[in-house]
Chain A
Amino acid sequence: MSAMKHSLLTLDARTKKRNAAEKRFKACGLSAIVVAMLALVVLLVSVFGSGASAFRQTYIAIEVPFPEAKLDQSGVRDPDVMSQVTTLGYEPLLVDGLLAAIDAAGIATEMSDKDIGALISKEAPATVRNFVLANPDVIGSSATFDLLASGRIDGFFKGRVTMESAALDGNTSPEALQLAQDLRDAGIIQTRFNWNFLIAPDASDQRPEAAGLGVAILGSLYMMIVVLVLALPIGVAASIYLEEFAPKTWWTDVIEVNISNLAAVPSIVYGILGLAIFINFMEFNQSSPLVGGLVLTLMTLPTIIISTRASLKSVPPSIRDAALGVGASKMQSVLHHALPLAAPGILTGTIIGLAQALGETAPLLLIGMVAFVREYPAAYTPDAGLFGEASTALPVQVFNWTQRADPGFVERASGAIITLLVFLLIMNTIAIVLRRKFERRW
């Protein structure tokens, strides 16, 4: 070989080959990221595209008359007598109110009264009835309400229902949509931001427009409280013992291997365990956030233990040695020095564990939380105990709504996914901020 081949200005064949290999490798990495980002974009676009409209809702503003002859024949405003009039008895009053509004606006329509009444949600009679029972004095006069429009009308203003699809649809008609359009032009129908989606409880298959996440958010919140209160102290105590005090024997090795294994156990297994222990043996209430929280605690514990041990390990031994050197006891060196320094890592691990638990559905399937629940669960009642009342959870609500027949629930399910994503984003942001703020590097 001559010296000419080793010029620094011209690349030899081997260097070219190595450079090309590096380029290929970088391109592979880049394309992997592009594919992942594209998948994320497609997911977000499809979810936000169909779900953003769940946060807006169509309302009909009408004045509902309350004739005494229909609502309180006794005339003495006895609540027992008044509650005899069911929501079926209130429906005609709403139709009267809407007809009056149509007349007042000078809109001509040839639809039957029954079809016109179908513009109003089936939820509305209950809203009005509850108002009347709470304010018996209104009987004999009237009151103005913002009532939910039915799902098809709401879908029309959101672009989900069109004149063409309405012509084929047994639940609405192009005439009904035209009337709705006229009412909107007259200012009687309005579409605006919908707080009820986050506050209201679930609704049955006939009322997609009324369905909300209230019970699910409350249930998820209760479960997260149970998980936090149980998993954090138990997990931290277990890790401190294992990391700082336990002698290194084959026995602690076994425990360590088992903890790592438990972190990888499919979550449905914890559901089976929860059913057997908490419901069948300990006789806690089915569908209760307490049982859900306990199951999720078991699921989250390994995550917290592993991250706590990792952050304790990252505290340099010199800190402990210095503490011990000036006369601190072992416990003092751990609690006064090692634990505070490991705290940011522990908090991050805990929040990530909670976020994982928040999105979990499978174990809740077995303990009865995949259910239709309309009553807000109380945190404590003397009968049901702490967190003992039936509830659902956010991911469960997504699962439930995707199974419903009415197309209106597609929008609701996507809206619930957006809500869940926002919660997860907040939790992960807190985790990152905490880590950035308190983390120390050595």
Chain B
Amino acid sequence: MSFVKMTTTALAMTAISTAAMARDNVQVAGSSTVLPYASIAAESFGENFDFPTPVIESGGSSAGLKRFCEGVGENTIDIANASRPIKPAEIATCAEAGVTNIIEVRLGYDGIVFASDINGASFAFTPQDWYLALAAELPQDGAMVPNQNASWVAVNGDFPDQPIQAFIPGTKHGTREVFEEQVILAGCEASGALAQIMEINGGDEDAAEATCMAIRTDGRSVDIDGDYTETLARIQADLNGIGVFGLAFYENNTDKLQVATMSGVAPSTDTIASGDYPVSRPLYFYIKADHIGVIPGVKEFAAFFVSNDMAGPDGPLAEYGLVSDPELSATQEAVMNETVMAD
């Protein structure tokens, strides 16, 4: 009977596949911000070396690190991309699963920019403007009152009378954390609101900072859980919208977006590298040292990724929007020596 034969074939097939499962390609997962850089490096690596092109998955920094910490072996990933440093809790999870030798590699910096539709009004922001526009509650006469600012002119007299409509990254994105800490919290401090909130709550600084970073939920600020392409679509549909983007995304869409300055500085790879542009963050990837020598090409790929040809100031990654790390040579040395993180 034909279906009996087919069933036998199917069983035989499953048996063959279980017999040997090894892989010869490097497997990477993690941050969607690092993904384009990793795929550019992987593509070049595959072209110029005898190793197969590494497979790069996205899914977010936390998801990537979670899979990184599942254990050591061929069915776990070799490298995790992250747009933030690994947390102590994650290192502990890793250690429990036997992943004790982790090499931390900082590949460069990423700028976070504020951009609106090219046909809309232009802005010159300070962190204080963003705090006053997006905070859930503002201190007023010794008490916290819900944020009533509906127009940018209410935030800053120099701004046009345009309704506040912001599209910011959702909480699952690493970018959100940077936005809250480097923009909202900084603005809270600069406007003197932090001191006022501490007066109100009796001097509890941690609680005051948390109050500062609470974002209003009345629709003036919209969380975007998808990618920057979604933010772009929302801004194109709403001329009043102002969105938070990565520098690389903006640089590839300069014909549709206009970027706002922050504290008087326009974002560019130069101003971010020099530290003049205030909102940026380091990008990392983490290597499982125990996979070096087991999975072919892990160390070679990592070394190539941070080489001057790739991550240097004139390399293709910088061309795409990565802010090159001034201390790149130290990073290269750490990869060469397989320097693992201290416990």
* Interface residues of A, Cβ cutoff 8 Å to B: 83, 86-88, 122, 126, 129, 165-166, 168-171, 203-207, 229-230, 232-234, 236-237, 279-280, 282-287, 290, 335, 365, 368, 370-375, 382-390, 402-407
Contact = CB atoms under 8 A, between A and B. Distances in A.
B316 A284 contact: no
B341 interface: no
Interface in B248-287: 248-249, 251-256
Contact of B27 (A171, A233, A280, A390): A390
A335 B319 CA distance: 66
A400 B9 CA distance: 34
A205 B320 contact: yes
A404 B10 contact: no
Going nearest first, the 8 A-B pairs with the smallest beta carbon separation are A165-B255, A374-B53, A372-B56, A205-B36, A385-B17, A371-B57, A204-B39, A233-B6
A234 B70 CA distance: 33
15 contacts: A83-B50, A87-B48, A165-B255, A204-B39, A205-B36, A282-B18, A283-B74, A284-B75, A335-B1, A374-B53, A382-B20, A385-B16, A386-B17, A388-B17, A405-B253
Interface residues of B, number: 61
B10 A230 contact: yes
Contacts, number: 159
Contact of B229 (A122, A237, A368, A404): A404
A370 B3 CA distance: 33
Contacts of B74: 283, 285
Contact of B7 (A126, A169, A233): A233
Contacts of B17: 284, 290, 385-388
B20 to A, nearest CB: 5
Nearest to B44: A87
B150 to A, nearest CB: 31
B36 A405 contact: yes
Contacts of A385: 16-21
Interface of B: 1, 3, 6-7, 9-10, 13, 16-25, 27, 29, 32, 35-36, 38-40, 42-44, 46-48, 50, 52-53, 55-59, 70, 73-75, 77, 118, 226-229, 248-249, 251-256, 309, 316, 319-320
Nearest to A385: B17
A405 B10 contact: no
Given A373-B55, A384-B21, A385-B19, A168 B48 contact: no
Nearest to B250: A405
B215 to A, nearest CB: 24
B249 A405 contact: yes
B23 A390 contact: yes
A234 B48 CA distance: 46
B56 A371 contact: yes
Given A206-B316, A335-B1, A404 B48 contact: no
User: Which of A168, A365, A387 has the most chain B CB atoms inside 10 A of its CB?
Assistant: A168
Contacts of A365: 59
B35 A372 contact: yes
B57 A287 contact: yes
A386 B20 CA distance: 9
Contacts of A122: 316
Which of B35, B55, B226, B320 has the most chain A CB atoms closer than 10 A to its own CB?
Answer: B55
Nearest to A400: B58
Nearest to A391: B55
Nearest to A166: B255
Nearest to A161: B255
A374 B42 contact: yes
Contacts of A83: 48, 50
A285 B75 contact: yes
